[in-house]
Amino acid sequence: MTAIVGIGLFIGLAVLPFWGPDGVLRLLIEFFVLLAMAQMWNLLAGYAGLVSIGQQAFVGIGAYGLFYFTDLAGLPPIAAIGATAAVAVLIALLTSLFAFRLRDGYFAVGTWVIAEIFRIVVSQVETLGLGTGVTIQTLVQMPPEERLNLVYWLALGVGFGAVVVVILVMRSRLGLALGAIRDSEVAASGLGVNVLRTKRMVYVIASVGCAVAAAVYYMNLLRIQPTAAFSVDWTVQMIFVVVIGGLGRIEGPIIGAIVVLGLQEALADFGSAYLIILGLVMIVVVLFARRGLWGLVTARWPISLFGIQRRLVPAEDRS
């Protein structure tokens, strides 16, 4: 039933550029990109227990990868996103060699250090515009309406694609291994789970997802600066969305992204009041609803929209 509703919703949203206002399309682009990034962070922290505060490294890689492969390598935008994803895989594998030597809080700090190193290095590369950044000229030359529609469809695919990827991961043997690792790494290892390889696979998937979502976002923004692309604000926003919505549930980032963007739009005329109120919402959720807003719903009604929750079945019921 959820799959049918999801396909219907996807088709309905896919035809929106033919009649919807541009302002709505831009807002939905932000929503789908934020949803995709939050789902990836949720996969890392909620399912694998890898609390990263350096996912902005792959936001920056996605942005600059898009610029490099479109303006310098001459690839079409969609091919450039594919090439950026391939580069993100390679960089995620290489950085994991360092990051996975660290544990718990040290892992979180280590990922942030990696992101800062990328920011400093990119700021020194003349081809990438040094500290002042670059403008993606290939996309600037596209007709605005054509570019907006293309970005919207790509963002729609990225948002829905992120949800589908998490569902497929959690329904696979990888998801089963993640559940075992989250409960007890020692016990999982004793049962034959390769803990390091499992975590590395999730890290790569989440990193590539963030890079692709960022590439789509910067197709619409056009201007890239290292301080913005590698800003820790990206990861903070992912954390806000996941914690407010509900950590470790696919529904959580969906609810969280709606709340965060809803507050952003409602308080757009009040400047920093948005950040203050968002922070207060975060504090209230952490204190009184540690499983997030979706956790409040499931506490009252046992709902699982995506059917990935595993449960024990008594032996007598299996026959």
Mean pLDDT of 50-62: 91
Which band of pLDDT confidence, cut at 50, 70 and 90, is reported for residue 272? confident
Mean pLDDT of 31-39: 94
User: Rounded to whole angstroms, how far apart are CA atoms 62 and 216?
Assistant: 8
Give the model confidence (pLDDT) of 89-109 as tens digits.
999 999 999 888 888 889 999
b/e per residue 190-225 (b: at least 16 CB within 10 A): eeebebeebbbbbbbbbbbbbbbbbbbbbbbbbebb
Q: Output the pLDDT for position 308.
A: 66
Q: Output the pLDDT for position 128.
A: 87
Residue with tokens 């694998």: 48
Bridge partners (DSSP) listed for residue 135: 223
316 pLDDT exceeds 70? Answer: no
The average confidence (pLDDT) of the chain is 87
The answer to whether 84 and 65 are in contact (CB under 8 A) is: yes
Bridge partners (DSSP) listed for residue 134: 224
Cα dihedral 183, 188, 194, 196 sign: positive
Q: Output the pLDDT for position 317.
A: 54
135 pLDDT exceeds 80? Answer: yes
Q: Output the pLDDT for position 154.
A: 94
Question: Greater confidence, 83 or 127?
Answer: 83
Q: Output the pLDDT for position 28.
A: 94
Mean pLDDT of 1-26: 86
Q: Output the pLDDT for position 311.
A: 58
User: Rounded to whole angstroms, how far apart are CA atoms 126 and 269?
Assistant: 37
5 pLDDT exceeds 90? Answer: no
205 pLDDT exceeds 90? Answer: yes
Q: What percent of the chain has pLDDT over 70?
A: 96
Encoded amino acid at 160, one letter: F
Give the model confidence (pLDDT) of 284-312 as tens digits.
888 888 888 888 888 887 777 776 666 55
Question: Greater confidence, 151 or 310?
Answer: 151
278 pLDDT exceeds 90? Answer: no
Could you say which DSSP state residue 224 is in?
E
59-63, 117-121, 255-259, 299-303 — which is least confidently predicted? 299-303
Which band of pLDDT confidence, cut at 50, 70 and 90, is reported for residue 248? confident
Q: Which DSSP string corresponds to 81-126?
A: HHHHHHHHHHHHHHHHHHHTTS-HHHHHHHHHHHHHHHHHHHHT-G
User: Rounded to whole angstroms, how far apart are CA atoms 241 and 18?
Assistant: 30
Angle between helices 56-67 and 233-245 (to 10 degrees): 120
Helices marked H in the chain:
2-14, 22-42, 48, 56-67, 77-99, 104-123, 137-140, 144-171, 173-183, 185-190, 195-221, 226-229, 233-245, 251-266, 273-288, 292-300, 315-318
279 pLDDT exceeds 90? Answer: no
Residue 105: is it exposed, middle or buried by C-beta count within 10 angstroms (0-12/13-18/19+)? Answer: exposed
Mean pLDDT of 225-239: 91
